[in-house]
Structure 1
Amino acid sequence: MTLLRNAYFRNFLIASTVLNIGRKLSWIALGWFVYQVTGSTVAVGMVISVATVSPLLSSILVGGMLDHFDRRTVMMWENVVRGGCLALIPLLYWLDVLSIWMIIVVVFVEGCLSSFTTIGTASILPEFLHKEDLETGNAVFTMTGQIGSLIGPALGGFSTALVGAPMTLLLNVICFLMAALLYLMIPPEAYHSSQTSSQTGARWKWRHFLRETKEGFTYILSYKILIVIALITLLFNFTYAPLEPMLPVFVDEIVKAGPGTLGTMWSFFAVGSFAGAILWVRLRRKFPYSYSLGLVILLWGLVPTSLSFHTHILIIYVLMFLGGIVYAPFNIVSPTLRQQLVPNAMRGRVFGVYGLIAGIGFPIGVYAGGLLAELVGVTQTILFSGVLTMTLGLVVAIHPILRFTDVSALDVPPSESSR
């Protein structure tokens, strides 16, 4: 593939894949570890909620910093420090002083730092690619990211069963250090290729941060398409989120299996996502964004709905595989649309604000899912998640606001047209 001949894009891609492997294996290990220690779906939901709320709280600050500081240096050190934070969980466990509040603190700090990579990746990727290659580049990121998702859950599940969750978390520490090294191999100027030197070298001040954070909010709120996409993602995150804390409990109590099965389920999802991304690239979408996003959300809703009626492990694996196929295009269409709508000089602060708006649905959904499971049970919570997601998909598909196929035909926000 021509894109892979681009050394900057290739190293950035490998770093993202390595981080995704680490994130997925630690996600499996941590979720299973918390449930086994506490026996509470609320505790699992609390830890996952903290892990997802913390990046949202830091996203606005991170966005402004990435627009002004050396992006390579920031992302390198962020991954080194995240690795050090995560290493505290196994160390404290082996010292026999680990408690749930310590896990929550570590997860909160690690999550705050993760915004640098999440927002940085979305902001920087277009700088490595030509505009016509952007959607393909996002598809390649999705495909290789699913390689990480394929390896990570299986590795996390089997490693947790073999050596325990604390030791498994140390593998993620190694992933953080590897990603930092790969970022170092890309020249710093590549991260800011279309920005002026005065912008990237300017002395960053808090008054500038406050002003530019306001600009990020203003840009999104004045651009109806962007705010609609953010709200759709918020609602999709909310309806999807109850599934995540329920799966460890579902596997343990309903399927009567162990962490290896949980990891394999997510690996089947990853294989499906890889296939789904390939199919989407070959399809070469010609229909409106409302149909693209709405159909993806609707079809994904069928997966948790179907899961709630089945306990046979082979059927569950097939459902997760099919779920990966239908879910993958969302992670191609949505970021590509955002990247095309926002200029590089503002991507950090705009994507930070966007992340706050769109991402808040996930921790709320996770926590709500944990509470709902305590009241009505795990299976009913998964069913509720699926039905609510299908309803959202139908609304998105029939709503006229995203019924366009060419981004270049849209008007930019009035506040930006005069810049």
Structure 2
Amino acid sequence: MISARPQSHGYRAVLAHGPLRRLLPAFAVSDLGDGMSVVTVAWLALQIAPSGASGMFVGAAVAAYILPGAAGALAFSRWLRRLPTLRLIQANAWTRAGFLGCIPLAWVTGTLHPALYVALLAGSSLLHAWGGSAKYALVAELVPDEQRLAANALLSTSAWVSTIIGPALAGLLTVAIAPALLIGLDALSFGWLAVQVGRLAGPRQGSLPPPEKARLGNGLRVLRTRPALLGLLTVTWLFNLAYGPVEVALPLFVRQVLRAGPDVLGLYWAAFGVGAVVGALTVGVVRKLPLWPVMLTIIAGHGLAMLPFGLPVPVTFSVVSFAFAGVIYGPYSALAFTLLQSLSPAALLTTVLAIRATVLLTASPVGAAIGGPLAASLGARWTLAGTGIVMIAVAALAAIPAAGMTPALPQQGQMR
């Protein structure tokens, strides 16, 4: 049986797996680069936005940094589904490094126009769905069933730690260094990840799923025949859609309402990251509870934490509230990925994860695209508070069909 929580010895056991241990620092560095880009992508967009269209352009830039990954997952699936997990991670890393690396070059040469900026961001995300999914598929390949929750918690914690250090570091550095050059650091971090992956030996012979079994249609069939997975995917998509406007409205809130700079924007994201790390490390406490109530409580709690942005409260209060949103959200990813790994056939796991990532990649960018017009019409303050209201409504509406469905994480004997 899986331990009620991932104890410290559980983390040590995960780190005993050589390939995963060697890759975790590279994952952490690339996570840090992406954490910095939370600030730098939006702030550079504000700097080069066409006159009078800052909100719309920030939304377009944020969406371009994520959304094309959904199109890439579908367009390249015929070839990508045949690659081992390590090759998928490497392909995504080189793609991110190449396109993001062109942004500082264009900035230095004076050719970084808004359309080119959006195009380069879009290119960097083309393989994001498969590359990100391959990380968690690699966990399922290398780590025994009873250690997966701890391994997933380590990966999610790495991502959340990056939202503490990355935005805060970017906020401080942006005062002295152009954000375009900081995006170049993100490119270097992915280049290093690609090199580290290339140094490892290929995965086990059995880790490459048979092409006829790894088709997208078979992955979709897994979701259709497992209501717990399909329901979780639907609710998560709505949650991410409601969250999307935050990435657009928060920089506008900092600049237009608070009259502050990127250092304050970095402070908000760092506070959220601190909270998320705390939440992620307590994932074992909630793993034995019914899954739906836990997931819906996380969504509603996150929504409640966004409401103070609509009130004329001190900055400190809204920062603490945003940190609380991170605490609430922290366990979500590790629980969701562990459930997916447990209920998906091994030969189809990467495909199922890629389908999930593809679907979810459409949510936050669509929300970000909606966030631009909303911030222009309602203002950044009410847009942020409005996301909280929508999250609470999503949790309330999802509770109705979910009342009779309470999936829990399978015990060790039930796992595949």
Q: TM-score, normalised by structure 1?
A: 0.89
Does the 8 A contact of 1:265 with 1:317 survive in 2?
Answer: yes
Which residue in 2 is equivalent to 1:125?
A: 139
Which residue in 2 is equivalent to 1:36?
A: 47
- Share of identical aligned residues, percent? 22
Does the 8 A contact of 1:246 with 1:382 survive in 2?
Answer: yes
Does the 8 A contact of 2:98 with 2:124 survive in 1?
Answer: no
User: Within the alignment, does 1:168 sit opposite 2:171 as a pair?
Assistant: no
* Aligned pairs (5 A) from 1:184-195: 184-190=198-204, 193-195=206-208
The alignment covers a number of residue pairs equal to 401
* Aligned pairs (5 A) from 1:40-119: 40-61=54-75, 65-119=79-133
SS at match of 2:215: helix
Which residue in 1 is equivalent to 2:160?
A: 146
Does the 8 A contact of 1:290 with 1:396 survive in 2?
Answer: no
Distance 1:127 1:238 in 2: 31
Does the 8 A contact of 2:84 with 2:207 survive in 1?
Answer: no
Which one-letter code corresponds to 1:73 in the other structure?
R
Distance 2:206 2:414 in 1: 25
Which residue in 1 is equivalent to 2:363?
A: 361
Q: Write 1 or 2 for the structure with the bigger share of helix.
A: 1
SS at match of 2:127: helix
Distance 2:120 2:194 in 1: 20
Does the 8 A contact of 2:89 with 2:135 survive in 1?
Answer: no
Which residue in 1 is equivalent to 2:408?
A: 405
SS at match of 1:31: helix
Per-residue deviation, 1:347? 1.7
Does the 8 A contact of 1:67 with 1:347 survive in 2?
Answer: no
- Residues 107, 64 of structure 1: CA spacing in aligned structure 2 closer, same or farther, 3 A cutoff? same
Which residue in 2 is equivalent to 1:225?
A: 228
User: Within the alignment, does 1:296 sit opposite 2:298 as a pair?
Assistant: yes
Which one-letter code corresponds to 1:85 in the other structure?
F
Which one-letter code corresponds to 1:271 in the other structure?
V
Which residue in 2 is equivalent to 1:234?
A: 237
- Residues 245, 406 of structure 1: CA spacing in aligned structure 2 closer, same or farther, 3 A cutoff? closer
Answer with 350-359 or 51-60: which moved more.
Answer: 350-359
- Residues 144, 174 of structure 1: CA spacing in aligned structure 2 closer, same or farther, 3 A cutoff? same
Which residue in 2 is equivalent to 1:183?
A: 197
Does the 8 A contact of 2:276 with 2:330 survive in 1?
Answer: yes
Distance 1:146 1:130 in 2: 24
Which one-letter code corresponds to 2:185 in the other structure?
L
Per-residue deviation, 1:385? 0.6
- Residues 22, 193 of structure 1: CA spacing in aligned structure 2 closer, same or farther, 3 A cutoff? farther
Per-residue deviation, 1:288? 0.4
Distance 1:81 1:194 in 2: 23
Distance 1:219 1:279 in 2: 29
- Residues 410, 302 of structure 1: CA spacing in aligned structure 2 closer, same or farther, 3 A cutoff? farther
Which consecutive unaligned segments of at least 5 residues does structure 1 have? none
Deviation >6 Å, runs of 4+? 408-412
Which consecutive unaligned segments of at least 5 residues does structure 2 have? 1-11
Distance 1:284 1:410 in 2: 20
Q: TM-score, normalised by structure 2?
A: 0.89
Which residue in 1 is equivalent to 2:267?
A: 264
Which residue in 1 is equivalent to 2:38?
A: 27
Distance 2:164 2:84 in 1: 32
